[in-house]
Structure 1
């Protein structure tokens, strides 16, 4: 939780205006940062106009004086309010102590030892008084009441003294009032102590923010000379306040708990707002966490209106109607194909109907992608699609075993291992630290910052997936975006560069994207990380430079903004946990790269993936919440694709389709066949989804490769798998583009439009596809594919 939210959540509502205006001070810091960058750009443009060489600008002290003035006002506000409340509460405490001493000073005989009736009457009165106090706000339980009565037999209390005088309601009410006043005073003093802590933290954090954003050294000086020397934050003041709280505890204990301070403290703490806030805060965090984990909840613009249409008496949103239409279309096509005999065997016809049904559902997203995957095993078994090796129909029990066996393989295990690496690298700030240190050395020229952030996006996509990388990189360039001039295209250039680089990064490693996991499922033998790197990295690097050149040509960021705000590197010492995470990650990746050499010992890459899973979860580096945060929807989607692929193969449909395609292309060279499939996948992945393109087309490519006169299944499958990541010409082309298309500037306008993706993304996609069936073909042929 951000400190500004924590401050609002834990502050006393009636005192809200008396706390440090943290958000206001933070806005001043960001405004000063923007003004500083604007001044630097104005000087740079002036030097360029005059033909002079740019020199580093000196830092002005004007911003520090503005910020210091605001800090002084906030410190004075805290000082005045604390002094006022301290005087009020301490005076009230003295008055309560005096009134309590008068009551306790009454010379009243407690009860004679030889008068059992008086004794019993007193205990009855005390029980009545306890129940009355509980009804009026006390929290004493039945377990606590009996010991208090036993103590009352031995030691007189203020309650017993009042009960001896009279049991009339006036005396009971007097006790209730006294108890309420003591509790209210205790709560107020405790809130005053919390007020000091929150404001002290606010000054520390805002000064730290100032030094980090504006490259200053104000925290050590101002905090020591001004804040800590101010009366509310002096150690002596805090000690006096704590002693006053102890006085209230003793007064309450002597008056109502027979001197038992532990019991008094427990009763009074139940009224503390801090305790109520803690309980509420804990529950609130857990609810929000569960909401995000289960529903993938995100903050959305509540003011955005959604189109609704009336269907009879029912109001339906336009998106829901669209999904319903697509779902009905898929059902109708499915039913028609079930009754049309296209292939010789019924199982093939049914399998073809299921394949088209799944393709429509995945392409239109009538329901979530993973939901369609969960339906596939049910339909495969129900329709009797699976066949034995002799061609006879497989019984339902055997078919279900085959289907579920295909849904968990070494590929899925490697996907989980990749999730574990990504979670650990992100959780302990290793990925962010690497990125900020690289970007901090990129300088302030827009062209070099753009190239650096694109390479960082590509590199991080190799290890923490191209789904999570854009989110991290967009947050890294926030210091640049908030200091850009209004209505400039530099922000669009940077964001589009991150999105396209992340799409390109999706092809760089076996765990960088879901489509690569699906591709590996259809490669035999597994290429290993070494061969994958050898083929994918050269293509990716050339694509990055091509995309960078297009962005510079189209947006011309250097001309618009000569200098950008410099990104600060992440500070802090390297912890042993970070060293451990890096060690395990390097060992795992090294074993994956050497998998072909140690295959006799480990069997497959899935076995190696057990290392990070056990080491991270077994040592507590990752916990249950991290496991729940895995992209299980991607896992289920991949499993559904594997189940469908197994069914298509078992039914014989895949072989028939491959033979028919082979008849039309068998006379073409392999490079031409790869080009045909690469451009087919490019179109499919641009308009639909990278993952869906892999699910539908990769199995067909594999069968075609096996049925060629000279089989080249691995070459065609890997080339097609790389082509799945090449589609990046539209906002819907892959997760990175979808994430980037939703970003808005401070005016609420989107940074990117469809035109931005088309102008830069389409040429980059075409170049990437050309490289796959030229350079990629050459590399894969050289390794024997």
Structure 2
């Protein structure tokens, strides 16, 4: 929860305008405005020396004046409330002593004790009141309504109510002091962090802690007054038993706090909902509805319905057409096209289509035994389900666990912020550093999670940019495209690579790095040059704000996570040499899953946060791959393709498939492109006169990450296109991706065909 929300959540509603609350968010905005002025002053300076620029100062008098005003407000309210409550307590103490003397005179046999049976009955009735009733009655005598009760009992009940009210008010006053002290500490810490200042210790020591509400002696006096109320209550109503008195008084305090927070929580939710509607949005025409009678669909729903019906028609037609001269292959081909069109059109969510595939595979009876006879439904079900959980899925889960641990414990963010803090202020170097940091992190925490973290890292830069600057768009697009390119960088950097590894014979991490890293680095540099050419960020803003490095040092837990991560990656890299002991890379993935969840570093919430939709999508693709393989369809398709290209050189065959995948992955998910095309590529490679299955499969797998020309081309682009400026305007539009991303896609595809082919052929693929 944000501190401003926590402050409001814990504040006393009647005193709400007396807290630091209303100015806390305004002071944060003042800090960010000072940060922006500091960067603007640096850019206006004629001196380009970065060291000189870092010493530029801004006028902080407005911020200090606001702090002083808040401190004075807290001082005035506390002094007033303290006097009011202390005087009330003194008067109540005298009144109780007076009642004590009168009652002792009237009832000498009570030995100074009151009619406890009558009063206890009233107390029990009082404790059954709801919190709402207690709140309404806390300012008045709750028992004067009992006209039949003796007058002295009614008076005692009234005094008890007043004591409870004083106890609650004094406790709330103590909380008031603590909350405001925390607010001053938080806002001063934010000031020093954003502006590289040293105001916190000085202001707290000389101003806050010297102000009467925050002095240790003042707090000691307040706590002694609370203890005094507790003692009075115990002596008057609990026969001196402090434990009973404390329990009764805390019940009242707890119920009142619960009621206050429940009310405030509802108010906060209402305010948050209103805040989300305050952004300036592009005017949108109301969505047109289609349908008849009670069935009404908007445009997107109608598109999905039409696409789904189209897929069904195509499926039925293909089931009835004898395409391959074999019933099993015909049915499997119909299923393959149906799944491909469903995935391409997203008539339903991608993972939902994957869930349907195992059912259709068994229902159509397309799977066959090695001798060509059809499998029984029982055998087909077992074969399909066994294909859906393999070493590939285990590697995917292992990669998710590494990503979760590195992100949860701030290791990835600490690494990125420390590197970016050394990038200087020139936009071109900040952009280049940002792209390489994004690419490197994508190798280990996937290019699905990395963009989100990197976009949050550049918030200090984005919020200090001049209005209508294109630098923000340049930086965000650079992160997105770098993460897309890095999708090919390591076997666990993207789901399509995980799928590709499944179809490689004796996959080697070393060979993957040897081919992928040079292609990725050159593509990143080309993309960086294109961004500089298109956006010219140095002309727009000569100097950017600096990303602050994480100041805390790594602790033992973080070192342990790093050790397990490095060990896992090292075993993956050496898996081909250790295959006699490990058997499959998926076995290695059990190490981080067991260690992180077994030691409690990751918990059930982290497990639930895994990208299970991606896992299900991959499982559906594997089930489909098993079906087209055992049915004989894959081999039949591969032989027909081979007949048309077998006279071509291998590099030309690779070029055909790379260009096909480039187009496909631009308009459809990279993962879907791998699921559909990689199995076909493998069979074609196996059936060439000189087989080259690994070369074609790996080349095709690398090509799956080259499609970047549209917002829908990969997870990083989808994340980037949703980002908005503080006024609600999108940073990026489709044309931004088409220009830079389109050219980068073509360059990366050419590199796969040329440089990638040379490296893979050189290592024996």
Q: Is the shorter-chain TM-score for this pair beyond 0.5, marking a shared fold? A: yes
Contact 1:10–1:277 at 8 Å: present in 2 too? no
Structure 1 residues 129 and 774, CA gap change in structure 2 (3 angstroms): same
Indicate the residue corresponding to 1:688 in structure 2: 668
Shift of 1:256: 3.6
1:256-304 deviation digits (Å, cap 9, x = unpaired): 43333223323332333698559979x999xx9xxxxxxxx9x976987
Structure 1 residues 274 and 189, CA gap change in structure 2 (3 angstroms): farther
Indicate the residue corresponding to 1:5 in structure 2: 5
Aligned-CA RMSD value: 2.9
Structure 1 residues 701 and 175, CA gap change in structure 2 (3 angstroms): farther
Contact 1:689–1:732 at 8 Å: present in 2 too? yes
Aligned equivalents of 1:496, 1:410: Cα separation in 2: 34
Shift of 1:595: 0.8
Task: Identify unmatched segments of 5+ residues in structure 1.
Answer: 114-118, 140-158, 289-296
Normalised to the residue count of structure 2, the TM-score between the two structures is 0.91
Pick from 752, 768, 771 the counterpart of residue 751 of structure 2: 771
Shift of 1:374: 1.4
Indicate the residue corresponding to 1:65 in structure 2: 61
Shift of 1:133: 2.3
5 Å-filtered alignment, 1:535-550, equals 535-550=515-530
Pick from 357, 373, 392 the counterpart of residue 338 of structure 2: 357
User: Does 271-280 or 535-544 show the bigger shift?
Assistant: 271-280
1:461-495 deviation digits (Å, cap 9, x = unpaired): 00111011111111111111111111111111111
Aligned equivalents of 2:88, 2:110: Cα separation in 1: 37
5 Å-filtered alignment, 1:207-218, equals 207-218=188-199
User: Does 330-339 or 585-594 show the bigger shift?
Assistant: 330-339
Shift of 1:174: 4.4
Indicate the residue corresponding to 2:618 in structure 1: 638
Aligned equivalents of 2:121, 2:542: Cα separation in 1: 81
Shift of 1:719: 0.6
Task: Identify unmatched segments of 5+ residues in structure 2.
Answer: 133-140
5 Å-filtered alignment, 1:165-204, equals 168=149, 174-204=155-185
Structure 1 residues 322 and 193, CA gap change in structure 2 (3 angstroms): farther
Shift of 1:5: 2.0
Shift of 1:556: 0.8
Shift of 1:381: 1.2
Indicate the residue corresponding to 2:137 in structure 1: none
Shift of 1:321: 2.4
1:620-666 deviation digits (Å, cap 9, x = unpaired): 21122111111111111111111111111111111111111111111
Indicate the residue corresponding to 2:591 in structure 1: 611
Aligned equivalents of 1:254, 1:755: Cα separation in 2: 78
Please state if 1:129 is matched with 2:131.
Answer: no
Contact 2:290–2:299 at 8 Å: present in 1 too? no
User: Does 763-772 or 573-582 show the bigger shift?
Assistant: 573-582
Secondary structure of the residue aligned to 1:216 is: coil
Aligned equivalents of 1:258, 1:329: Cα separation in 2: 83
Shift of 1:177: 3.6
Contact 1:439–1:567 at 8 Å: present in 2 too? yes
Aligned equivalents of 1:449, 1:123: Cα separation in 2: 76
1:380-427 deviation digits (Å, cap 9, x = unpaired): 112212111111111111111111111111111111111111111111
Structure 1 residues 331 and 92, CA gap change in structure 2 (3 angstroms): farther
Aligned equivalents of 2:202, 2:119: Cα separation in 1: 59
1:171-221 deviation digits (Å, cap 9, x = unpaired): 665455444333322222222111111111111111111111111111111
Aligned equivalents of 1:92, 1:480: Cα separation in 2: 54
User: Does 539-548 or 627-636 show the bigger shift?
Assistant: 627-636
Secondary structure of the residue aligned to 1:749 is: coil
Please state if 1:247 is matched with 2:228.
Answer: yes
Shift of 1:353: 1.7
5 Å-filtered alignment, 1:393-412, equals 393-412=374-393
Contact 2:50–2:425 at 8 Å: present in 1 too? no
5 Å-filtered alignment, 1:658-697, equals 658-697=638-677
Aligned equivalents of 1:654, 1:276: Cα separation in 2: 68
Indicate the residue corresponding to 2:679 in structure 1: 699
Pick from 450, 454, 469 the counterpart of residue 435 of structure 2: 454
Indicate the residue corresponding to 2:31 in structure 1: 29
Contact 2:355–2:616 at 8 Å: present in 1 too? yes
Structure 1 residues 95 and 347, CA gap change in structure 2 (3 angstroms): farther
Indicate the residue corresponding to 2:71 in structure 1: 75
Structure 1 residues 73 and 602, CA gap change in structure 2 (3 angstroms): same
Indicate the residue corresponding to 2:136 in structure 1: none
Aligned equivalents of 2:117, 2:230: Cα separation in 1: 27
Secondary structure of the residue aligned to 2:297 is: strand
Aligned equivalents of 1:538, 1:229: Cα separation in 2: 62
Please state if 1:325 is matched with 2:325.
Answer: no
User: Does 714-723 or 331-340 show the bigger shift?
Assistant: 331-340
Contact 2:290–2:302 at 8 Å: present in 1 too? no
Aligned equivalents of 1:466, 1:254: Cα separation in 2: 67
